[in-house]
């Protein structure tokens, strides 16, 4: 009976891994005869797994969708990825967050201890950035194995070695926190006593060093704010500096911290250092400030704002005179008759 149960779980994993399997392929993978495969398929159907069969020369088995949700077979990496996603959803609040929290609780109950420790390490080592920002870029692929390794290093205060684009040799970093923001994962750590951030999907993780460090946390502990400052100054494809004719406090009250940094100037003005993935996006964002501003660079942004200004002018048409007439009268000054 134990062999049959184990074989059925393996069969279920195969059916979930590929859209179609022939009976012969399944028999070869399981090391049994095709008759045994047919019997195991019948058992899965009895457990409400909708396994469909197509007869003939092109005959095959495939796992379809059913009216009920049967158990799901996950490997270690898939289980960790699902747990990470559910934990992120659970922190978002609302009905979706409640559902995600319940699903995560059920998953935690059945996770093996080795996987539960990995998921717990990620939860303890992760902070979330603002939820009310967005980007047009697709979410990058992040290796769950790399995330769990970094989380374990953070938990155990273990140095990590990273392969960073532009660096000739791997760098050794003190890892402190993972920050999840806008579909991206950032590692916050110290390199040569300086606080830095790295996008996890853009670096390579070398084998664990086994060397420990004495933690000296970031003053204030606001790791997401550090990531936002780094992204605002270096993380965009397009960077701009805009002089706003308003105090810094006024601008800060109208923007999300992820949009950029604000520098106070004399005379009730300030500079907004911001950016985006395109010039067009920046042009729209700064218009939403509803404040007077001045842009001198980059030239592409100046040109784009001129295009928008001309478009809005055409959209509204000529401005009618206050008295409702056809326009101002042209008068010629009378000569001085004195």
Tens digit of each residue's pLDDT (9 = 90 or more) over 54-107? 887 767 888 887 645 566 677 787 788 787 777 766 555 555 567 767 777 777
- The pLDDT mean for the chain works out to 80
**pLDDT at position 132 over 50:** no
Which range has the worst mean pLDDT, 66-80, 150-164, 183-197, 271-285? 66-80
213 and 263, same domain (yes or no): no
83 and 13, same domain (yes or no): no
Domain boundary residue, one of 223, 246, 266: 223
The residue segments making up the domain with residue 205 are 168-223
Residue 231 is assigned to a structural domain of this protein: no
Residue 200 is assigned to a structural domain of this protein: yes
CA distance 234 to 186: 14
CA distance 168 to 12: 46
Q: Give the CATH number for residue 20.
A: 1.10.10.10
240 and 292, same domain (yes or no): yes
56 and 82, same domain (yes or no): no
Residue 30 is assigned to a structural domain of this protein: yes
Into how many domains does the chain fold?
Answer: 4
- For residues 227-252, average pLDDT: 81
Q: What is the DSSP string of 32-88?
A: S-HHHHHHHHHHHHHTT--EEEE-STT-EEEE---SS-------HHHHHHHHHHHHH
241 and 298, same domain (yes or no): yes
> What is the DSSP code (8-state) at residue 320?
P
Residue 42 is assigned to a structural domain of this protein: yes
Residue 272 is assigned to a structural domain of this protein: yes
> What is the DSSP code (8-state) at residue 231?
I
> Looking at per-residue confidence, does 124 or 246 come out higher?
246
Q: Could you tell me the two tokens for 216? A: 């000296």
217 and 247, same domain (yes or no): no
Q: Could you tell me the two tokens for 203? A: 């670096």
């Amino acid at each position: 009976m134990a062999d049959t149960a184990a074989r059925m779980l393996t069969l279920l994993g195969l059916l979930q891994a590929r859209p179609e399997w022939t009976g012969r392929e399944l028999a070869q993978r399981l090391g049994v005869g095709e008759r045994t495969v047919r019997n195991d398929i019948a058992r899965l159907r009895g457990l409400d797994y909708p396994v469909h069969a197509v007869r003939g020369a092109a005959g095959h088995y495939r796992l379809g969708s059913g009216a009920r949700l049967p158990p799901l077979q996950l490997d270690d990496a898939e289980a960790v990825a699902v747990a990470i996603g559910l934990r992120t959803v659970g922190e978002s609040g609302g009905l979706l967050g409640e559902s995600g929290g319940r699903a995560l609780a059920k998953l935690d109950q059945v996770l093996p201890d080795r996987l539960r420790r990995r998921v717990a390490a990620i939860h303890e080592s992760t902070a979330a950035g603002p939820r009310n920002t967005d980007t047009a870029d697709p979410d990058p692929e992040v290796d769950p194995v790399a995330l769990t390794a970094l989380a374990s290093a953070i938990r155990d205060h273990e140095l990590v070695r990273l392969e960073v684009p532009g660096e000739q040799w791997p760098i050794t970093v003190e890892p402190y926190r993972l920050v999840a923001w806008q579909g991206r994962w950032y590692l916050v750590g110290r390199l040569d006593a300086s606080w830095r951030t790295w996008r996890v999907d853009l670096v390579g993780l070398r084998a664990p060093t086994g060397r420990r460090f004495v933690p000296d946390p970031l003053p204030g502990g606001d790791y997401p704010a550090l990531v936002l400052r780094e992204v605002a100054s270096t993380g965009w494809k397009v960077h701009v500096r805009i002089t706003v004719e308003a105090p810094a406090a006024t601008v800060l009250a109208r923007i999300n911290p992820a949009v950029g940094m604000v520098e106070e100037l004399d005379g009730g003005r300030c500079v907004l250092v911001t950016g985006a993935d395109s010039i067009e996006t920046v042009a729209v964002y700064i218009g939403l400030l509803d404040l007077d501003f001045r842009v001198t660079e980059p030239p592409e942004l100046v040109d784009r704002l001129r295009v928008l200004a001309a478009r809005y002018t055409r959209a509204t048409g000529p401005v009618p005179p206050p008295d409702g007439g056809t326009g101002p009268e042209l008068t010629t000054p009378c000569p001085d008759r004195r």
